[in-house]
Amino acid sequence: MSATVRWKAATMGMRNDPAVAAAVFVLWALLALFVVYPLAMLLVRVLTDQGGFTTAGLAAVLSDRHQIRAFGNSLLLALLVGSAGTALGFLFAFTAARGQLPRWLLTAIDVAVLLPLVSPPFTTAIAMIFSFGPRGLITYDLLGLKGVTVYGLASTFFSEVLTFFPIAYLTLRPLLAAIDSNVEGMAFSLGASRWRVFRTVTLPLTIPGLANAFLLLFAASLADFATPLILAGNQFPVLPTQAYLQITGLFDLRGGAALSFALLLPALAVFLLQRYWVSRRYYVTITGKGAGQTPFDSISPGMRAVLLAACALVALVVVYFYVLLLYASLVVALGANHAFTLQHYRTIFTDGLKAIRDTLIIAGLATPLGGLYGIMLGYLVTKKSFAGRRTMELVSMINYALPGTIVGIAYLIAFNDPPLELTGTALIIIACYIFRYGPTGIRATVALLQQIDNSLEEASQGLGAGSGATFRRVTLPLIMPAFFAGLGVVFIRSMTAISATIFLVSISWTLITVKILENITELSLGPAAAFSVLVVVIVFVVIAIIGRVLRLFRAPGAVPMTSLLGG
């Protein structure tokens, strides 16, 4: 009965609301323009030639041995990163959820894990070169190896795992924490050993989460552009970088589009698997009154030490990379001249000032708009009923789910000619960020609203409030955390993204991340490191501010936001 009640409540009295109709219309227009249209133009460009349908362009790319290798490499890398990153994420999540760690240690883990998530894309890659390159601190200075090459599968893999495993951690930790430890205790009391409890209870309950984490990492690695661009080298081409080189190097937009199209299929498969298969397989461990019990100590002291040591080792590597980055930004030339200097910072605040200013302006505009877009769309698709509601939600997720390379090339193709000539403007970059990263806010809003029982709005109505007053006084305050989560993600990504926007920057509008890439290719690693440090600092400051504001809005009873980074 409650299902019908809910359905009734959703349809009752909302249908003919002109404000809702207007909002839906505007959102559909925007989605059509900035999601559907570019993608359609990409398909048209790939699949037609002089007005006729043809797969010749696609076939040409897909039959090229070099490109087939790139395709295979992309999948291989994604598979490896997905597996290893999930394992590493699980290690951290399990240790954090089951290790009964003191509070400060949990915070330390969170910070170490958060660092890679908020960093510009090349940070681990730069640190890898500093450490393991031909003149690397470890390979050359420490081990005395000569002529080693850092470029290839191994270093790309290592760097991507370090960059992306936090996603697995953030997915798995709440899941592990939600498993009622009484369930494990029960198995233990039935005579199972700790290892057996883990194998037969804990792990099976986590499998949907592991699958989900794997798919997320697979997609992230598949789409990753920055790391392979720096570290993969000639011997290990992957699709996103090949597409980029095809366009910027060979000025072959159609070939690049076709290459990015080859990325579309695995990316889409992963997205659909994740959305329609994994998400339905979550177990809910229903718990009755269980608060206040001592949790079952699911790991032995020895195992706890081993797990902690493993986590500490990984965290140490992460921290080492960032310390190295900071150090590199403060010396003349790491590996050659270790004299202290502020020259690199002087450079980025003079030569690089335009990039910094542009990035901040673009992020400053994209962030509020993206946050607003997120809660508006999330609210409409959860609380209002209108035709095409599910479709709207699905369409809004497309740019978020697709690799940035595809989105960037699609925008480049779609907005290059009148009447929609937007290339070269800041607007195209802002739009790209809003529709690519705004969906995090949508998801946060939807998740929050689903936790808020309809009876809250009914209670407000019953007390005499109209629908406007109810929205203002009850619904809006409750979804504020989602708004700020959306803001946070759009800002972080606006500061750190490159895969899509590298195709959209121009002389008039450029970005810090693009500047970092230029520096790296010119081998001026000092300014690149300085830029990276700057971005990390800005992002941390802004996250701290958003966190502070969020706390103001979060009454002790409010629904907690699991993570600012959403997913």
Partner 1 sequence: METIGVHVDGVSKRYAHRVKGELYAARDVRLEVRPGEFLTLLGPSGCGKTTTLRMIAGYEKPDAGRIRFGGQDVTDLPANQRNIGFVFQNYALFPHLSVFENVAYGLRVRGQPDDMIAKSVGDVLALVGLAGYEQQFSSQLSGGEQQRVALARAIVIQPRVLLFDEPLSNLDAKLRVQMRQEIRDLQRRLAITTVYVTHDQEEAMAVSDRIAVMHQGSVVQEGTAADLYHRPASQFVAQFVGRMNLVAGRVAAIVGETVNIAALGTLISTPLPRRDLAPGDSVQIIVRPEAIEIVRGGDEKTHSGLLHATIVSRTFLGEKIEYSARCADEMLQIVRYNEGPGALIAEGATVFLRFAADALTVLGQTHREGRE
DSSP structural state of residue 121: T
Residue 52 interacting with partner 1 (CB under 8 A): no
How far is it, in rounded angstroms, from Cα 36 to Cα 429?
17
CB-count burial class (<10 Å; 0-12, 13-18, 19+) for 194: middle
Least gap, CB of 474 to partner 1 (angstroms): 6
Least gap, CB of 384 to partner 1 (angstroms): 17
Two tokens at 378?
């999330």
Least gap, CB of 116 to partner 1 (angstroms): 33
Residue 455 interacting with partner 1 (CB under 8 A): yes
Instruction: Please check whether residue 423 is in contact with residue 416, taking contact to mean a CB–CB distance below 8 angstroms.
Output: yes
Least gap, CB of 25 to partner 1 (angstroms): 26
Q: Smaller CB distance to partner 1: residue 1 or 190? A: 1
Q: Smaller CB distance to partner 1: residue 478 or 516? A: 478
Residue 544 has phi, psi (to 5 degrees) of: -65, -40
How far is it, in rounded angstroms, from Cα 139 to Cα 141?
6
Give the bridge partners for 333, in sequence order. 337
How far is it, in rounded angstroms, from Cα 244 to Cα 257?
9
Beta-carbon count within 10 A of 347 CB = 17
Q: C-alpha angle with apex 296: 292 to 299, nearest 5 degrees?
A: 140
How far is it, in rounded angstroms, from Cα 209 to Cα 565?
17
Least gap, CB of 433 to partner 1 (angstroms): 30
Least gap, CB of 453 to partner 1 (angstroms): 6
Least gap, CB of 21 to partner 1 (angstroms): 20
Q: Smaller CB distance to partner 1: residue 4 or 337? A: 4
Residue with tokens 């994994």: 278
The contact mask relative to partner 1 for 130-169 (x = CB under 8 A, - = no) is: ----------------------------------------
The DSSP annotation for 36-66 comes to IHHHHHHHHHHHEETTEE--HHHHHHHH-HH
Residue 51 has phi, psi (to 5 degrees) of: 90, -10
Least gap, CB of 450 to partner 1 (angstroms): 15
Residue 523 interacting with partner 1 (CB under 8 A): no
Q: What residues numbered 465-484 form the site for partner 1, per CB under 8 A? A: 465-466, 469, 473-474, 477-478
Q: Which stretch binds partner 1 (CB under 8 A): 356-364, 379-387, 414-422, 449-457?
A: 449-457
Q: Smaller CB distance to partner 1: residue 463 or 545? A: 463
Instruction: Please check whether residue 472 is in contact with residue 431, taking contact to mean a CB–CB distance below 8 angstroms.
Output: no
Least gap, CB of 387 to partner 1 (angstroms): 18
Instruction: Please check whether residue 167 is in contact with residue 567, taking contact to mean a CB–CB distance below 8 angstroms.
Output: yes
Q: Which stretch binds partner 1 (CB under 8 A): 18-26, 38-46, 243-251, 463-471?
A: 463-471
Two tokens at 67?
């490109």
Instruction: Please report how many Cα atoms fall inside a 13 Å half-sphere around the Cα of residue 139, on the Cβ side.
Output: 17
Two tokens at 558?
């409010």
By CB under 8 A, name the one of 459, 523, 544, 545 that touches partner 1.
459
Q: Smaller CB distance to partner 1: residue 147 or 556? A: 556
Residue 445 interacting with partner 1 (CB under 8 A): no
Q: What residues numbered 524-563 form the site for partner 1, per CB under 8 A? A: 553, 555-559
The contact mask relative to partner 1 for 8-37 (x = CB under 8 A, - = no) is: xx--xx------------------------
How far is it, in rounded angstroms, from Cα 77 to Cα 32?
33
By CB under 8 A, name the one of 73, 274, 460, 513 that touches partner 1.
460
Binding residues for partner 1 (CB under 8 A): 1, 4-5, 8-9, 12-13, 453, 455-456, 458-466, 469, 473-474, 477-478, 553, 555-559
